Structure 1
Amino acid sequence: MSLFATLSRSVALAVMLVITSPAALAQLEPTDEQRQAAVEIADSLRYGHYADINFDEAWSEDVFQRYLDILDNQRAYLLRSDIEPYRHLEADMADAIFNGDLDEAFALYDAFSERQRSRLESLLAQLDEGLDFNFESNERLEIDREDAPWATRQSELDDLWRKRLKNDALTLALTDQDNEQIESNLRQRYEGQLTRIDQTEPEDVFGVLMAAVTGSIEPHTGYLSPRQSESFDIQMSLSLEGIGALLQSDGEYVKVASLVPGGPAERAGILEPADRIIAVGQEDGEMVNVVGMRLDNVVDLIRGPKGSVVRLDVVPAQAVDMTRSQTVEITRDTVSLEDQAAHGEVIEVERDGEPHRLGVINVPTFYVDFDAFQAGEEEYRSTTRDVAREIDRLKEEGIEGIVLDLRNNGGGALQEANSLIGLFIDRGPTVQVRDAQGRIQLYGDTEAGTHYDGPLGVLVNRLSASASEIFAGAIQDYGRGLILGTSTFGKGTVQTLNDLSHGQIKLTRAKFYRISGDSTQNRGVEPDIIFPSLIDPERIGESSLDNALEWDTVQNVQYRRYGEPENVLEKLIAQHDTRAQNNPNFRYLERQSTLARQLREQHTSVSLNREQRKREMEAQEAEQLSLENQRRRALGLDELDEWMDARSEGVDGAESAEGATEDSDAESEGEEDEKTSVDRAHVLESAEILLDYAKLQDNRRLAAKR
């Protein structure tokens, strides 16, 4: 029997299953603790949040729509008629939350859960009857239905799911699985999702509802259940044993939001931001499909004892088809302060036949050993102390300038951002913090003198956030150095964690402002010289998040300028552009980021014809492979046969230049890595720019003396 002929029979069977299933009859109801917590959350938002929130009918409508989006963001389960009985919540949601009246919101969840269960049982019934995998039609499946209207007839969703099932099967078929493997994998996926539905508890529903409530305000405010609060405490104590990656939901998928500096995933070099995880397995166990799985359950699968291995099936961020996954292995570990410590190196740049030495200090995070500090120990570890030591060491090696590498630095201790700025200025304000009442507190460096007053560059990227943005913004405002790289994340808000009678709430209480008066919120810090990057700002960063607070300004404060880098920027940019045009890695980054954006814009649907799907996928990957091989040819590297091989070897990893022998010593291999690594290209070019800047400063000083 064909794939298409079996569908109507299996839908009828699914309806029968829903009617007779005991789980379908079990209604989830809010507990008294959750009702009370809802009232406390509403009060916290009303009286404690930074934003001035108007809990009116418009807010109620936003929360209702957000709740529906979280439940069924692809408009694949609920009919318009399923939603109509709860339309009054569009006007009444605010009253319901403030009064702890959650019954109707829970009932809507039950309606969704029943539709979801019915659909999964339908798919399993079809698998029981056997599938005829016919992939010769010219149909296409729309892959993003977030803005689609709600279906008015069941037949509309039946047709959507007929295509979805066909696509699920085709996706597996394109990975060379036979029919038996495809049916087994699909059964495991659907049964797993059905089991998770049957295991849903009132706390799960309450969490979804509160996510809609807090997410309507801004993205960094949120409810933490008692279980999540415990997990958060473990994470903050750095005793969490996992892979060191921050994950977030992205539709049905789990996406890597960022990597913990010094963590196992970053050290392994095989995960990147925006990668999607589609399956998780233990070292010797079967892979568990996690598409559609709740985020906290995925996190539980990935966690494990230190030293154990977890396997992840990952679709790279740059892949445009979910069939292009690869399995990676990461050894779980804890992240220590030593792993995150600042460390420096010397880079040699040749000009006119003469070598010049530039220092680079990598600052993965803003850290401080609070226990040692509070105990009064004189030699406690901190970002500022470690950077100061590295500066002293680099000065002894005769460097002509220093680049601080803050890429991927997501922030940390505010006091360390302040004190680190103090190494490069002689007293002065560093950041303004404005609370909900409009009161502004000014932070600054109070110690006289500077630790380093030479040429300075700060290298940032889209994952430089919070304290990193405070530091970069202050250096830019003071004219103390050059900011290089890409626009930063744009997180300019301050959160506190408050206890509730049931769980906790993370609440945005204040905003950061630069000493110039500009906020770092939403826009981030714009570099003086922009580098190309593969991180898409439309997918990563504050501006990509729903309801992010807007950029604004406050009154600037008085501060002295240490230099006027803007006066030489035109010349510096011209010199940089000349080098970038001749740099294979910079050309690759520029072209690959443009191509990735174009492919995502074009990739709004997928073909359900096997041969057409393969042609489309091969054409897209051929473009990506061509760019990679152009880069490799220019660098004297062996060309690749498959685009995914670049990911396997690591575009940013250790690659040997053509002609290198196995007995090459470690030093020569390191030199080749410097020349061939895309990631390293930003560091090397930053050193080049800083040398240009140092020479221009010397020339201006000489001219001033004449």
Structure 2
Amino acid sequence: MKKNFKALLLVLLLAFASCSFTSKTFDNPDKDKLLVQVITYVLQQGHFDPIQINDQFSEELFEDYLERIDPVKRYFYQSDYKEFQKYKTEIDDQLKAFDITFFNVVHERMLQRIDEAKSIYKEVLAKPFDYNIDETFDTDYENIDFVSNKKQMKERWRKQLKFSTLSNYDDIHEEEKRAKENDPSYVMKTEVEIEKQAREATLKSLNIYFNDNVDDLTREDWFSTYVNTIVEEFDPHTYYLAPRSKEDFDQQMSGKLEGIGARLQKRMDYIKIVELISGGPAWRSQLLEVEDVILKVKQEDEEHPIDIVGMRINDAIKYIKGPKGTKVTLTIKKVDGTIKDVTIVRDVVELGETYAKASLVEKGDKKFGIINLPRFYVDFQDYKNLNAAIDVKKEIERLKDEGMEGLILDLRNNGGGSLPAVVDMAGLFIKDGPVVQVRSTGQPKEVLKDRDRSIVWDGPLVILVNELSASASEIMAAAMQDYKRAIVIGSKQTYGKGTVQNVYNLNNLVRNNTSGDLGALAFTTQKYYRINGGSVQLEGVKSDVQVPGRYSFIDVGEKEKENPLPYDEIDPADYEIWDNYFDYDNTISKSKERMSGNDQLKLIEENAKWVKSKIDETVFSLNYKTYKNQLELNEEEAKRFDAISDYKTNLTFVPTKFEKQLFENDTTSLREKRERWYENLSKDVYVEEAVHVLEDLKMAYSIKKVAKVKD
């Protein structure tokens, strides 16, 4: 959640202002030391749950920093690690004294080892790889130790490079086969030529990586990594934005993203997709999914792809992003272990693509409505005209005008957004009352309430969630669940993020700053709680009807993060349960019974278990024949799950009259986007069950109509 309450921010600003720093505070006005002083102060004074900077903190920071800069242990030696260990319990004392000796020692050694690595990889790639011998490579780097000597280091690089080159080797083999099939007279390359070409592609990727990326890293870049490791010890949503990163952050908050429309995150040595921007190129392609790993990137004017495994995420993004209209081909390792090339045409992703959208759902002679909300968006400069709650209200009124008998609010994959917007949105479905409780350290809790006694929709309501529904989505689902206003259908539990963050410009704390831009800090300032007193932190929201999904057995969510804040409870707020359903519990029981016998869900669950088994595999053969057989086996096994996408419901999805009018003057491919959405909904077993639940929910009175809001 990017926004926070102005009152809380004002308190923090006043507290910070009373202790403003000056760069002249130091005998040696060094920017890095100033940054350490400012950041440690902000975290100790402003973080919701500041941790003690002691020996335990020091030991954890020590391990985490070395893992961050050398995650696959291909730079440092055992002797380096032993030398660094003398600082293991001293980093806390250094931070308190604004001393950065540990960083300096590790940084200097890292630069030395990087120079040595350049010679090693070139030496390794100068010799052919033998793909006929039986040897394996383990990608579970946490189970390996630092090497003891240069011979072992060279062997580690050899195996890593052979593994990286193996996919190039396979790609070229497949290209040669296709060329021969298309032209029988084509003379295929020899094994020697294929092996050499594959090695040269890996060499090119590494040369680009080191020469264009690693060598371009400034001391500020390296130090920002160190600072980020420090602040992330507090919790996973506290992070430092260096000046360049702050510019990127501001650009994203402006509402436009140019590229493929995906949010990426580095996990160990790999770049993973953690979110697809609704309406963006990747989302429209239907070829990428959350948890897919990007292995290589190829531009449309280049012959060979660049291997981005091991690359810093900012450097990898430079290759993936690009001007609107250009093509980029990504080599993807799917969550099921299969490897595919996916070509995406880059585009500008407008914030408007993430707005609420609605459709009528027809089943026989009955009409229902579905509203999809990708984010709880808001423009605080124009709150009355641009926020998710207002847009959802308009869509409800359009659907009611056409005879909607029940409503589905789809919050799957919704990562959150504005707290005021979710409070206002909850108010659309209840007369009035508390929606969420918020607590700051040392402050009494604040109960955020809906104070508007009008109800926009008083009919049957179902909310759809999954493991990626987070933050504001969890507030909405939890409030409706606590009121027994809606039945929540979806994953066993949602993401489990129950914290609120602020972004603070660190330059505001320093008077007469001559050290340069300090960047910004996003840090956790509050926790929010359900109106029943429970937290969604770690626990998430448990669906009333729990159904398997693609991520059911994959480790996603807050509890899988490093250093998450704990679960706790506070006193419940004063609220009255919605009493206008007379068969609420019976409807849940009937839904559970239906879901337990649903063949489509059984297949989805089998697929989720199979995907988990593939993710758990970390040891790979470097024998090409064995490697290829495993790839083909994976692809063959995956075919039995093709039926998941072949599923069809008996539901019909049609636009509202309002959107039909928009289609007539459509210049933004709106009709195409909606038709694709309708097609996906028609295959959605979860939406199908939501409609069954709406049919079963019996009201104690007839559904009311309200005056329409002018469009």
TM-score (norm 2): 0.82
Structure 1: how far apart are the matches of 2:233 and 2:49? 11
Corresponding residue of 2:190: none
Corresponding residue of 1:364: 374
- Match of residue 342, structure 1, among 350, 356, 372: 356
Corresponding position: 1:553 with 2:569: yes
- Match of residue 185, structure 1, among 180, 187, 201: 201
- Match of residue 170, structure 2, among 169, 174, 197: 174
1:633 shift after superposition: 7.5
What 5-or-longer segments of structure 2 have no aligned partner? 1-27, 174-193, 508-517, 650-671, 703-711
Amino acid at match of 1:489: Y
More off after superposition, 534-543 vs 202-211: 534-543
Query: Contact 2:335–2:615 (CA<8 Å) still a contact in 1?
Result: no
Once the two structures are superposed, what CA deviation does each residue of 1:88-113 show, in whole Å capped at 9, x if it has no partner? 22111112223222133222123233
Corresponding residue of 1:332: 347
1:611 shift after superposition: 1.6
Query: Contact 1:71–1:109 (CA<8 Å) still a contact in 2?
Result: no
Query: Contact 1:275–1:314 (CA<8 Å) still a contact in 2?
Result: no
More off after superposition, 539-548 vs 463-472: 539-548
Corresponding residue of 1:615: 629
1:159 shift after superposition: 2.9
1:580 shift after superposition: 6.0
Corresponding residue of 1:642: none
> For 1:60-71, what aligned pairs fall within 5 Å after superposition?
60-71=58-69
- Match of residue 248, structure 1, among 259, 265, 280: 265
Structure 2: how far apart are the matches of 1:170 and 1:364? 39
Corresponding position: 1:600 with 2:606: no
1:574 shift after superposition: 4.2
What 5-or-longer segments of structure 1 have no aligned partner? 1-29, 637-665, 700-706
Amino acid at match of 2:57: W
1:517 shift after superposition: 0.8
Corresponding residue of 1:684: 688
Structure 2: how far apart are the matches of 1:610 and 1:514? 54
> For 1:241-390, what aligned pairs fall within 5 Å after superposition?
241-285=258-302, 287-305=305-323, 307-320=324-337, 324-337=339-352, 339-350=353-364, 355-373=365-383, 380-390=385-395
Structure 1: how far apart are the matches of 2:275 and 2:470? 11
Corresponding position: 1:428 with 2:447: no
1:316 shift after superposition: 4.2
Structure 2: how far apart are the matches of 1:241 and 1:504? 23
Structure 2: how far apart are the matches of 1:151 and 1:671? 52
Query: Contact 2:322–2:346 (CA<8 Å) still a contact in 1?
Result: no
- Match of residue 499, structure 2, among 493, 496, 502: 493
Corresponding residue of 1:529: 545
Structure 2: how far apart are the matches of 1:676 and 1:614? 37
Which secondary structure does the structure 2 equivalent of 1:241 belong to? strand
Taking a change above 3 Å as real, the CA distance of residues 31 and 463 of structure 1, as seen in their structure-2 partners, is: farther
Query: Contact 2:336–2:614 (CA<8 Å) still a contact in 1?
Result: no
Once the two structures are superposed, what CA deviation does each residue of 1:578-622 show, in whole Å capped at 9, x if it has no partner? 3563443x2331110011112222x12001112222222222332
Taking a change above 3 Å as real, the CA distance of residues 387 and 98 of structure 1, as seen in their structure-2 partners, is: same
More off after superposition, 572-581 vs 172-181: 572-581
Amino acid at match of 2:218: E
Specify which structure has the bigger relative contact order, considering alpha-carbon pairs within 8 angstroms and separated by 6 or more residues.
Answer: 2
Query: Contact 2:604–2:644 (CA<8 Å) still a contact in 1?
Result: no
Corresponding position: 1:393 with 2:398: yes
Which secondary structure does the structure 1 equivalent of 2:369 belong to? strand
Corresponding residue of 2:12: none
More off after superposition, 308-317 vs 442-451: 308-317
Which secondary structure does the structure 2 equivalent of 1:53 belong to? coil
Structure 2: how far apart are the matches of 1:571 and 1:139? 56
Which secondary structure does the structure 2 equivalent of 1:325 belong to? strand
Q: Tell me the C-alpha RMSD between the 2 structures.
A: 2.8
Taking a change above 3 Å as real, the CA distance of residues 140 and 31 of structure 1, as seen in their structure-2 partners, is: farther
Query: Contact 2:261–2:280 (CA<8 Å) still a contact in 1?
Result: yes
Taking a change above 3 Å as real, the CA distance of residues 58 and 241 of structure 1, as seen in their structure-2 partners, is: same
Structure 2: how far apart are the matches of 1:255 and 1:672? 28
Query: Contact 1:401–1:694 (CA<8 Å) still a contact in 2?
Result: no
Residues paired across the two proteins, number: 621
Query: Contact 1:360–1:403 (CA<8 Å) still a contact in 2?
Result: yes
Query: Contact 2:296–2:332 (CA<8 Å) still a contact in 1?
Result: no
1:66 shift after superposition: 0.5
Which secondary structure does the structure 1 equivalent of 2:366 belong to? strand
More off after superposition, 141-150 vs 246-255: 141-150
Taking a change above 3 Å as real, the CA distance of residues 587 and 635 of structure 1, as seen in their structure-2 partners, is: farther
Which secondary structure does the structure 2 equivalent of 1:110 belong to? helix
Amino acid at match of 2:130: N
Corresponding residue of 2:37: 39
Structure 1: how far apart are the matches of 2:689 and 2:249? 39
Once the two structures are superposed, what CA deviation does each residue of 1:103-148 show, in whole Å capped at 9, x if it has no partner? 33222123233223323322212333x31x3222221111112132
Corresponding residue of 2:153: 157
Structure 2: how far apart are the matches of 1:163 and 1:31? 46
Taking a change above 3 Å as real, the CA distance of residues 156 and 671 of structure 1, as seen in their structure-2 partners, is: closer
Taking a change above 3 Å as real, the CA distance of residues 635 and 504 of structure 1, as seen in their structure-2 partners, is: closer
1:245 shift after superposition: 1.8
1:466 shift after superposition: 1.2
Once the two structures are superposed, what CA deviation does each residue of 1:51-86 show, in whole Å capped at 9, x if it has no partner? 131111011011011111102222333222112222
1:388 shift after superposition: 1.6
Corresponding position: 1:145 with 2:146: no
Once the two structures are superposed, what CA deviation does each residue of 1:407-466 show, in whole Å capped at 9, x if it has no partner? 122112211101111111111011111112143111110111211111111111122111
Structure 1: how far apart are the matches of 2:645 and 2:260? 31
